[in-house]
Structure 1
Amino acid sequence: MLIAEELFLLLRRDDGKPESASAQRGYGLAAAVITDLVLAERVTLSDDKDPRMTVLVPGPPGHPVLDAAMARLEQRDGKKLSSLVTDRKLALERPVATALAEAGVIRIEEKRALGLVAERYPVLEPEPERRVREQLRTVLMGGEPRPEDATLLAILQGLGVAGKVLEAEKGTLGRRDLKRRIEEVSTEVKAGEAVKKAVDAMNAALITAAVVPAVVAGGSSG
């Protein structure tokens, strides 16, 4: 699964409702899909403190979620990561939900009562999320992380929901110890420098976006 798909499942309960009403899920999904494309070597990030994104290989990668993200990133080639994370057109919740529904993992329940009852995504097949959670539990307890694990943990921490979402997986880790372990994980990833840089940059951008809600204006120039 894509990191964006794994994050989508982590941020929602089995009944399809959000784990946290306050979490800026759009920021997280944007960060996840950009990292998916960094891992796929379709885009790269500069070495600046607020990195600029450069498209390496234009055109659709062949997955509907990545295709939609790539089309938007081609329009915003050269923009700063901070503006991309808060770009509403990269908060691809519905395309991610559609992909998971087509795979039989969730069901999409449309809005009801003239939109007063929000769209929900109840889980049909819990095994994919169970595998993700077990992997994150292993990593938090000292196991070797994959780039995907480091990205998910960094995004959850950046959104301020790591403790809540990983209530069972964190074991006896308190808030400070969990934060420290997540920071360690980003340094332990055995991956290319571009991936490590992406994880660190995403975490910084998410924290900034979550703390300064004024930057929510998606699509602002970078």
Structure 2
Amino acid sequence: MSRLAENLALLLLDDETGKSTVDLGRRHRAVGSAVLLDLVRAGRLTIPATSDSEPRVQIVGSGSTGDAALDAALAKLSDSPKVGWAAENAGHEAWKPLLELLAEDGAIRLEEQRVLGVIKVKTWPAADPTRERAVRDAIAAALQGGRPDEETAVLITILHGIGQVPGAGDPAVKARAEEIAKTAAASGPLKDAFHGLDTLPAFILFAAS
């Protein structure tokens, strides 16, 4: 299930306008990083340690994952690309399916309008804020000194990597986010997925810049 990527997508959507709050490049790399981790957790992807300057992803198994967003990403990663390229392209391929999954879940809704009466534009404003509120509350608690669970720590790490941590204008909040990011990279799901590549969060998020 693309739970991590779905929750990140929620955080990167403006609740009222239904548009992305970050530019496409940062969004693709951030969401793609979450998608790669979801695939690792699903047992469908590995990123072996290597002496090369940049490792490659490796697909495990075949067939559908049962998740439209993860399947879209897997189809793009079939040639074992380098991890930076994989993150950016996974994020690009999975974005629309992620929004559709969130709409099915009732968290957001699809709105369509035409610009100049010709160009159709889709937006995804908030519908039921319950899920996003729970994610934001967990992030806020961690940034205020609480101990984050694995998913919250990874979300904070990715948000920190793209400069989107809530309240990071406060030096104390920014310092706490940096602390969580360093811990997440040194242990837990990031370390487990990427076999100790301690440069990971920034490496994935910006390798394809």
TM-score by length of 2: 0.81
Q: 1:144 to 1:9 in 2, by over 3 A?
A: same
Return the alpha-carbon distance in structure 2 between the equivalents of residues 110 and 199 of structure 1.
43
Q: Which residue of 70, 77, 89 corresponds with 1:66?
A: 70
More contact order relative to length (CA 8 Å, sep ≥ 6): 1
Q: Which residue of 139, 144, 152 corresponds with 1:141?
A: 144
Summarize the alignment of residues 61-210 of structure 1 with structure 2, pairs less than 5 Å apart: 61-73=65-77, 75-77=78-80, 79-87=81-89, 90-113=92-115, 114-115=118-119, 118-162=121-165, 166-167=166-167, 173-187=172-186, 189=188, 193-194=192-193, 197=196, 201-209=200-208
Return the alpha-carbon distance in structure 2 between the equivalents of residues 181 and 20 of structure 1.
22
**Mind listing any 5+ residue stretches in structure 2 that lack a counterpart?**
none
**Mind listing any 5+ residue stretches in structure 1 that lack a counterpart?**
213-222
- In the TM superposition, what whole-angstrom CA distance separates every residue of 1:56-85 from its partner, at most 9, and x where no partner exists? 222211111112222222x222x2101112
The total of aligned residue pairs comes to 203
Q: SS of the residue aligned with 2:13?
A: coil
Q: 1:53 to 1:191 in 2, by over 3 A?
A: closer
Return the alpha-carbon distance in structure 1 between the equivalents of residues 63 and 113 of structure 2.
33
Task: Letter of the 1:64 partner, please give it.
Answer: A
Q: SS of the residue aligned with 1:119?
A: strand
Which moved further from structure 2: 192-201 or 135-144? 192-201
Task: Letter of the 2:161 partner, please give it.
Answer: G
Q: CA deviation at 1:30?
A: 1.4
- In the TM superposition, what whole-angstrom CA distance separates every residue of 1:43-66 from its partner, at most 9, and x where no partner exists? 111113522111122221111111
* Aligned equivalent of 1:8: 9
Q: Which residue of 19, 25, 28 corresponds with 1:26?
A: 28
Return the alpha-carbon distance in structure 2 between the equivalents of residues 174 and 148 of structure 1.
18
Q: 1:208 to 1:191 in 2, by over 3 A?
A: closer
**Is the 8 Å Cα contact of residues 61 and 67 (structure 1) preserved in structure 2?**
yes
Task: Letter of the 1:30 partner, please give it.
Answer: G
State the superposition RMSD in angstroms. Answer: 2.9
Q: CA deviation at 1:94?
A: 1.1
Q: 1:60 to 1:51 in 2, by over 3 A?
A: same
Q: CA deviation at 1:134?
A: 1.3
Return the alpha-carbon distance in structure 2 between the equivalents of residues 27 and 190 of structure 1.
18
**Is the 8 Å Cα contact of residues 30 and 90 (structure 1) preserved in structure 2?**
yes
Q: CA deviation at 1:199?
A: 8.7
Return the alpha-carbon distance in structure 2 between the equivalents of residues 142 and 14 of structure 1.
26
